[in-house]
């Protein structure tokens, strides 16, 4: 499929969809940090007018609304703009249905219009949803791509913060670090240590920029360790962690840059899930928590035979991924 955009053009397109400025990033991070800092005590989230005007995806709060980590709406978008500021362009490079990235969809839009479902959706936007042209062309195409092909979701910082808080995490490992939501959450929570492992080499520079930004915050004492390599072959005995929280890729739903491809679910179980879960659990500190956001099929075929019945489980408080895969968080407490 033809796609010839330059990196400058891709950045411009991404910014047209999500015009996030460094001021928005600063404002959101301060809110996240304050939320975590005052955990357990009611705080007043006083959102100034300048923040409300800047943040297009409005933070789910009203002025002077009292919130804590325990009471904030888990579907809140707070923190998402920080993640997208650093990694949104790379997220648009992920292949969804039709083995197609958003940029490929955009450059080959005339071919995609021949698909009835996509053409009908574009017509719906033109005549109903965006008839007043409040959304630019790129935003419309991105929303249609989300509906018809793949939304390419992130693990939201709010979800990570809730879990870090619930299980009293201090030293966290995420062996599929992804777009950065868990990293931002670790900083907001001021965890002692965060280990992130990511196979997607295209994310190395965005993460360097993200960590450089976080280091400008004098209040953050977290030690960050990022490794860009194959998580399956990494030596986890070299790390010291009391919590694993990870959301690994599901079977064939999305294809990320530089990720390995597997011919079957059985091969993915054998060569990806099983060795990863085994090694990362084995090196988890006694008393620690092993927390995995995954579909029921992977739990039944890999996690249950390997680790036994989960100590706890609950639905991830967010929308379901494409193809109606329900997202469940499974928890094991490693007692010895």
pLDDT band per the 50, 70, 90 thresholds, residue 151: confident
Q: What does the alpha-carbon distance between residue 92 and residue 82 come to, in Å, rounded to a whole number?
A: 16
Do 183 and 302 have their domain in common?
Answer: yes
pLDDT at 321: 43
Q: How many domains does the chain have?
A: 3
pLDDT at 44: 34
Do 206 and 282 have their domain in common?
Answer: yes
Each residue's pLDDT tens digit, 228-264: 999 999 999 999 999 999 999 887 655 666 677 788 9
Do 198 and 328 have their domain in common?
Answer: yes
Torsion of CA 177, 183, 184, 187, to 10 degrees: 170
pLDDT at 180: 97
The CA distances from residue 281 to 230, 237, 267, 333, 336, in Å, are 17, 11, 21, 10, 11
- The whole domain housing 136 covers 97-148
Instruction: Note whether residue 5 is domain-resident.
Output: no
pTM assigned to the model: 0.86
Last residue of a domain, one of 125, 148, 171: 148
- Helix, strand, coil abundance in the chain, percent, nearest 5: 45, 15, 40
Region 13-34: mean pLDDT is: 96
Instruction: CATH number of the domain at 165, please.
Output: 3.40.50.150
Residue 63 in this model has a pLDDT that exceeds 80:
no
Dihedrals φ, ψ of 14, to 5°?
Answer: -60, -40
Residues in the chain: 336
Do 140 and 167 have their domain in common?
Answer: no
Average pLDDT, the chain: 87
The percent of residues above 70 in pLDDT, for the chain, comes to: 84
The percent of residues above 90 in pLDDT, for the chain, comes to: 74
Residue 270 in this model has a pLDDT that exceeds 90:
yes
Do 328 and 217 have their domain in common?
Answer: yes
Do 83 and 105 have their domain in common?
Answer: no
Each residue's pLDDT tens digit, 117-126: 999 999 999 9
Q: What does the alpha-carbon distance between residue 84 and residue 68 come to, in Å, rounded to a whole number?
A: 24
Each residue's pLDDT tens digit, 208-231: 999 999 999 989 999 999 999 999
Least confident of 54-58, 91-95, 308-312: 54-58
Q: Which residues contact 302 (CB under 8 A, 6 or more apart)?
A: 269, 273, 274, 277
Do 276 and 300 have their domain in common?
Answer: yes
């Amino acid at each position: 499929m033809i796609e010839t955009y330059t990196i400058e053009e891709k950045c411009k397109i991404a910014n047209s969809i999500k015009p996030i400025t460094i001021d928005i990033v600063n404002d959101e991070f301060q809110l996240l940090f304050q939320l975590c800092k005052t955990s357990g005590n009611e705080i007043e989230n006083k959102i100034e007018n300048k923040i409300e005007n800047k943040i297009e995806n409005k933070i789910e709060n009203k002025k002077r609304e009292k919130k804590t980590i325990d009471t904030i709406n888990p579907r809140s978008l707070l923190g998402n703009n920080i993640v997208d500021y650093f990694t949104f362009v790379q997220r648009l490079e992920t292949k969804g249905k039709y083995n197609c990235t958003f940029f490929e969809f955009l450059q080959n839009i005339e071919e995609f219009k021949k698909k009835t479902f996509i053409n009908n959706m574009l017509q719906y936007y033109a005549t109903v949803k965006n008839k007043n042209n409040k959304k630019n062309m790129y935003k419309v195409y991105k929303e249609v791509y989300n509906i018809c092909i793949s939304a390419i979701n992130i693990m939201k910082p709010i979800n990570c913060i809730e879990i870090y808080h619930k299980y009293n995490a201090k030293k966290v490992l995420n062996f599929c670090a992804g777009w950065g939501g868990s990293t931002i959450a670790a900083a907001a929570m001021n965890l002692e240590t965060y280990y992130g492992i990511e196979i997607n080499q295209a994310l190395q520079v965005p993460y360097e920029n993200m960590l450089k930004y976080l280091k400008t915050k004098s209040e953050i004492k977290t030690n960050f360790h990022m490794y860009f390599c194959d998580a399956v072959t990494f030596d986890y005995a070299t790390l010291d962690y009391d919590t694993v929280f990870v959301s690994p890729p599901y079977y064939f739903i999305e294809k990320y840059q530089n990720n390995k491809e597997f011919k079957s679910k059985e091969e993915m179980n054998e060569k990806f899930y099983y060795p990863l879960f085994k090694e990362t659990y084995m090196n988890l500190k006694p008393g620690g928590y092993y927390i995995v956001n995954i579909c029921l099929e992977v739990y039944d075929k890999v996690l249950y035979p390997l680790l036994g019945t989960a100590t706890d489980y609950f639905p991830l408080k967010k929308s379901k991924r494409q193809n109606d895969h329900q997202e469940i968080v499974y928890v094991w407490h490693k007692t010895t």
